[in-house]
């Protein structure tokens, strides 16, 4: 019988170094985030409120579950997406270019609050709070409403309408339009009652409904592109391709980044790609086959890893992971991704556990990876527990909390699979010629928010790896 008491004590001692590791982030000269920043309209939806919306739209249970495509063509599709994610406890993002759908959401959903949205915008705020000396945020739209979502920090920079570098929060490009996404959150244990059936939400999560004409076409701020090429940045966290579609030249737009990527790499910049939930298969294929092999680091969650498996021809494993999303199956997925993509480093963040698999000669050592992952786990728990990480004290809010039983169980199963029982204590091992770093995380029972959690984990893991 595994003694979780002693294991928790062991990991508490390891996590004790997190504040010191986080402090070292202040020595990082520069980082940039690209390409997507927007305004998120956050709404916590309850099962009873959802049922009222279904009634207003005169939808049956059959209507709710009859999904032809994971996209938004009407208000009813918004409800289909919410129901799918609520009933399964999963996170997905569906897109639309139809302003009528946007208008429906304005009228029928509303929001509880506005906050920074888009992987690029969220990561920029986090890295600036962590203390990176200069953080450049790409913003293809930066009116005051968007600028207000950037933290009032002088190390967080973007570009005004004249191309002048300024703190992002001070910029107001008045001719730009705000880009607003709906983040519809739901709680574990909440219930939807329809047609004498009860659907209990198995896990707190969210459904994202996106209307965003600029990011849907990967419109770039040329001033940012120029600065990223000339300034020889230390890190670039890359994302935003998931909003593209084949019908909108998404494949060509994805590939258009390759010349930029080469310049960044030639400058010595470490480039991380966050593979978000990409519904368009052709775009997902272009991301996996063209962009991912050219970067230094890739980040995925469980859903995104399964999506990648489908692209690389691992359909049987994808189905196994879909059926049973535990550490062994997800490690097998990560291993197949590593072999197919060949990026030096790939990290998976799943419920209770983070796993990194990387080349033996990767730029970041296993111990540095472990250090960064512990910072990321602490910051993510702080974000879940407080709702935001806009100050250092929020980042360290979870410091001293024990790792979860869920994480230790998952780590124990993984250790048995790879044949190294010490992994549950050290977090570091090797398998098939690769370094393996695995970490049990701190879980918050009732998170205030889950928005941007994966992006926060990936960016902090990489840039805190010191």
Half-sphere CA count of 402, side-chain side, radius 13 A:
11
Q: Token pair of 407, please?
A: 């994480």
pLDDT band, very low/low/confident/very high, at 24 (cuts 50, 70, 90) = very high
Task: Band the pLDDT of 106: cuts 50, 70, 90.
Answer: confident
pLDDT digits (tens, 9 = 90+) for 373-394: 999 999 999 999 999 899 999 9
**pTM of the entire structure?**
0.86
Residue 2 pLDDT exceeds 80 = no
pLDDT at position 1 is 43
Tens-place pLDDT, residues 139-164: 999 999 899 999 999 999 999 999 99
Kindly give the residue spans of alpha helices, DSSP state H, lying in 344-404: 366-386, 392-395
CB-CB contact of 288 with 251 (8 Å): no
Phi-psi region of 345 (alpha: psi -120 to 50; beta: other; left: phi over 0): beta
Integer distance in angstroms from the first to the last C-alpha of the chain? 35
Of 326, 329, 315, 369, which Cα lies nearest the Cα of 347?
Answer: 369
The whole-number pLDDT of residue 180 equals 83
pLDDT 10s digits, 218-246: 999 999 999 999 989 999 999 999 989 89
Mean pLDDT of the chain, nearest integer: 95
Task: Write the CA distances from 428 to 17, 19, 153, 354, integer angstroms.
Answer: 17, 21, 36, 12
Can you tell me the distance from the alpha carbon of 425 to that of 80, in angstroms, rounded to the nearest whole number? 43
**Cβ-count burial 239-260 (b if 16+ within 10 Å, e if not):** bbbbbbbeebebbebbeebeeb
Residue with the larger pLDDT of the pair 97 and 221: 221
In whole angstroms, what is the distance from residue 33 CA to residue 237 CA?
5
Confidence band, pLDDT 50/70/90 cuts, at residue 257: very high
The predicted pLDDT at position 109 comes to 94
Domains and CATH numbers, the chain: 4-37+128-167+216-463 (3.40.1190.20), 40-115+178-211 (3.30.1110.20)
Q: What is the pLDDT of residue 210?
A: 86
pLDDT > 70 fraction of the chain, expressed in percent and rounded: 99
pLDDT tens digits, one per residue of 285-299: 999 999 999 999 999
> Residue 41: beta bridge partners?
114, 182
- Mean pLDDT, rounded, for 445-454: 86
List residues bridging with 211 in a β-sheet: 96
What number is the average pLDDT over the span 388-405? Answer: 95
Report the pLDDT value the prediction gives residue 151, as an integer from 0 to 100: 98
pLDDT at site 97:
79
Q: What number is the average pLDDT over the span 67-88?
A: 95
Instruction: Assign 452 a pLDDT band (cuts: 50, 70, 90).
Output: confident
Q: Is the pLDDT of residue 427 over 90?
A: yes
pLDDT at 179 over 70: yes
Q: Are 320 and 329 within 8 A, CB to CB?
A: yes
d(CA 241, CA 309): 18
């Amino acid at each position: 019988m595994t003694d979780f008491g002693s294991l928790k004590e062991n990991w508490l001692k390891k996590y004790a170094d997190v504040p010191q590791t986080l402090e070292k982030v202040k020595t990082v000269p520069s980082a940039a985030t690209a390409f997507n920043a927007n305004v998120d309209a956050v709404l916590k939806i309850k099962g009873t409120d959802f049922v009222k919306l279904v009634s207003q739209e005169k939808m049956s249970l059959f209507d709710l579950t009859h999904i032809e495509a994971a996209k938004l063509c009407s208000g009813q599709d918004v409800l289909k997406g919410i129901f799918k994610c609520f009933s399964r406890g999963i996170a997905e993002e569906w897109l639309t270019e139809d302003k009528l759908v946007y208008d429906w959401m304005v009228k029928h959903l509303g929001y509880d609050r506005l906050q920074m949205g888009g992987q690029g915008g969220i990561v920029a705020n986090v890295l600036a709070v962590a203390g990176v000396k200069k953080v450049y945020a790409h913003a293809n739209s930066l009116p005051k409403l968007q600028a207000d979502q950037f933290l009032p920090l002088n190390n967080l920079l973007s570009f005004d309408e004249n191309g002048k570098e300024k703190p992002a929060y001070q910029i107001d490009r008045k001719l730009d339009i705000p880009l607003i996404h709906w983040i519809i959150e739901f709680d574990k244990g909440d219930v939807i009652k329809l047609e004498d059936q009860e659907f209990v939400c198995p896990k707190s999560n969210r459904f994202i409904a996106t209307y965003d004409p600029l990011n849907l076409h990967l419109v770039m701020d040329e001033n940012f592109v120029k600065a990223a090429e000339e300034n020889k940045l230390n890190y670039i966290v890359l994302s935003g391709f998931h909003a593209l579609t084949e019908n909108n030249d998404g494949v060509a737009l994805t590939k258009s980044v390759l010349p930029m990527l080469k310049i960044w790499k030639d400058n010595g910049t470490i480039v991380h790609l966050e593979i978000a939930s990409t519904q368009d298969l052709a775009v997902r294929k272009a991301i996996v086959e063209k962009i991912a092999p050219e970067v230094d680091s890739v980040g995925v969650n469980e859903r995104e890893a399964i999506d990648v498996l489908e692209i690389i021809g691992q359909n049987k494993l994808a189905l196994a992971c879909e059926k049973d999303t535990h550490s062994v199956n997800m490690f097998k997925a990560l291993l197949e991704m590593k072999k197919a993509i060949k990026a030096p480093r790939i990290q998976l963040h799943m419920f209770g556990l983070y796993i990194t698999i990387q080349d033996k000669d990767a730029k970041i050592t296993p111990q540095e990876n472990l250090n960064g992952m512990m910072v990321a786990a602490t910051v993510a728990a702080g974000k879940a527990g407080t709702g935001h990480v806009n100050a250092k004290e929020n980042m360290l809010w979870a410091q001293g909390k024990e790792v979860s039983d869920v994480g230790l169980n998952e780590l124990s199963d993984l250790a048995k699979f790879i044949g190294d029982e010490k992994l549950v204590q050290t977090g570091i091992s090797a398998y098939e010629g690769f370094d393996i770093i695995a970490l049990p995380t701190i879980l918050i029972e009732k998170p205030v928010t889950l928005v941007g959690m994966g992006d926060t984990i990936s960016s902090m893991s990489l840039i805190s790896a010191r």
